[in-house]
């Protein structure tokens, strides 16, 4: 094999099992398995490690794009925002990288392989784990989307618009959001389904860890972005790490201490030094989705993760105490009416932010 294809690459594949929705309540967990290619250990025919950096990146859509998609549905008569997941997404697209052979786990060997020393299979489809798989799937899906009348929105990755149907499409890897008039969105997705396998579309509910619910009162349409269960799970995980007992906290900021006490605390290593980045990044995602008022507290602490002291522990504990006290307020409301667009943050009292005026 190596003499026939000297430029070929070789890699191992293996199963990977995970829990979808692990950040939510256990009754909503869904166990999922997929076959993954070990992209960290791709070898050449001479057994040297291969680095594939060119044309490996993909450009998924942003959080703002998803919310713009929901806003677009609000501005359409009989508007709706539907979501769906592509099935076995990467494997729907052909692998077009360097000739690559993969080794299967021995338990997967068919009987006719018995006695073979090092059998391999030619990689034909994109698999998770290969550096080029994400880019290959993105190009595959983009081609299909454009074939069905969508045009990429300039300077906004993975966002498309079909002018004939007035339908907006947002792609995040294998998650699709479509917005517009109900009949037109379903028509556009039905056309796409001829070339892409995906689940039956439904009104957006849980998308990228954030729960969405919709309300309509008079001429005002509202979407509630809910991160309550996510924040509660984050708080429970923090408490379980070191047996922390939560206290009531009116703000996310720890009280100021005399300079001498601060210097004493900053001379002691923090007990959360190894896990602070994990906790803070989890909270930052929730804050960006629905808890805007804690972003400053999180980012200030995030600047300390490389030099984490006992005083940082104190501030981290206070932040989690505040979130646990106010976990039921981890929501953000987005509304559209005749007068304009506004955001309402769930603090006490609620704050209303006018985003724009509709002509």
Q: For residues 342 and 220, what is the distance between their CA atoms, to the nearest angstrom?
A: 10
pLDDT for the residue 343: 55
What are the C-alpha distances in Å from 67 to residues 57, 168, 334? 24, 11, 9
pLDDT for the residue 358: 42
Query: Could you report how far apart the first and last alpha carbons of the chain are, in Å?
Result: 67
pLDDT tens digits, residue range 78-101?
Answer: 999 999 999 988 999 999 989 999
For residue 350, what pLDDT band results from cuts at 50, 70 and 90? low
Q: Indicate if the pLDDT at residue 9 is higher than 90.
A: yes
User: Do the Cβ atoms of 73 and 167 come closer than 8 Å?
Assistant: no
For residue 165, what pLDDT band results from cuts at 50, 70 and 90? very high
pLDDT for the residue 354: 45
What is the rounded average pLDDT of the residues 1-19?
86
Please tell me whether the overall predicted TM-score, pTM, comes out greater than 0.95 for this model.
no
What torsion do the CA atoms of 330, 332, 333, 339 make, to the nearest 10 degrees? 150
The larger pLDDT score, comparing residue 256 to residue 220, is at: 256
Q: For residues 28 and 42, what is the distance between their CA atoms, to the nearest angstrom?
A: 36
For residue 341, what pLDDT band results from cuts at 50, 70 and 90? low
Q: For residues 103 and 120, what is the distance between their CA atoms, to the nearest angstrom?
A: 5
pLDDT for the residue 332: 81
What is the rounded average pLDDT of the residues 183-203?
96
For residue 356, what pLDDT band results from cuts at 50, 70 and 90? very low
Closest alpha carbon to 84 in 163, 7, 193 = 193
Q: Indicate if the pLDDT at residue 138 is higher than 90.
A: yes
């Amino acid at each position: 094999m190596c003499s026939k294809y000297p430029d070929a690459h070789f890699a191992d594949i293996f199963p990977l099992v995970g829990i979808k929705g692990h950040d939510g309540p256990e009754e909503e967990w869904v166990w999922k398995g997929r076959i993954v290619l070990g992209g960290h250990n791709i070898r050449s025919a001479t057994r040297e490690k291969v680095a594939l950096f060119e044309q490996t990146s993909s450009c998924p859509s942003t959080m703002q794009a998803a919310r713009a998609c929901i806003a677009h549905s609000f501005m359409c008569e009989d508007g709706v925002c539907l979501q769906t997941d592509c099935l076995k997404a990467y494997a729907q697209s052909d692998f077009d990288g360097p000739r690559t052979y993969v080794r299967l786990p021995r338990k997967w060997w068919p009987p006719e392989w018995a006695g073979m020393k090092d059998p391999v299979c030619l990689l034909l489809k994109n698999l998770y784990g290969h550096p080029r798989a994400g880019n290959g799937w993105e190009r595959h899906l983009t081609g299909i989307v454009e074939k069905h009348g969508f045009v990429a929105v300039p300077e906004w990755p993975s966002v498309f618009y079909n002018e004939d149907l007035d339908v907006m499409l947002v792609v995040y890897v294998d998650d699709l959001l479509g917005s517009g008039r109900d009949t037109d969105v379903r028509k556009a997705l039905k056309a796409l389904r001829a070339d892409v396998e995906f689940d039956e579309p439904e009104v957006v509910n849980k998308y990228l860890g954030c729960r969405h619910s919709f309300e309509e009162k008079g001429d005002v349409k509202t979407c509630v972005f809910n991160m309550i269960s996510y924040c509660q799970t984050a708080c429970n995980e923090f408490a379980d790490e070191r047996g922390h007992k939560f206290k009531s906290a009116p703000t996310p900021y720890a009280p100021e201490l005399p300079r001498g006490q601060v210097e004493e605390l900053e001379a002691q290593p923090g007990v959360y030094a190894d896990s602070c980045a994990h906790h803070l990044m989890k909270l930052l995602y929730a804050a960006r989705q629905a808890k805007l008022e804690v972003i400053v507290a999180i980012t200030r602490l995030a600047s300390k993760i490389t030099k984490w002291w006992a005083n940082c522990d104190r501030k981290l504990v206070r932040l989690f105490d505040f979130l646990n006290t106010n976990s039921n307020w981890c929501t953000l409301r987005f509304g559209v009416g005749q007068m304009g667009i506004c955001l309402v943050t769930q603090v006490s009292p609620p704050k209303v932010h006018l985003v724009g005026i509709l002509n």
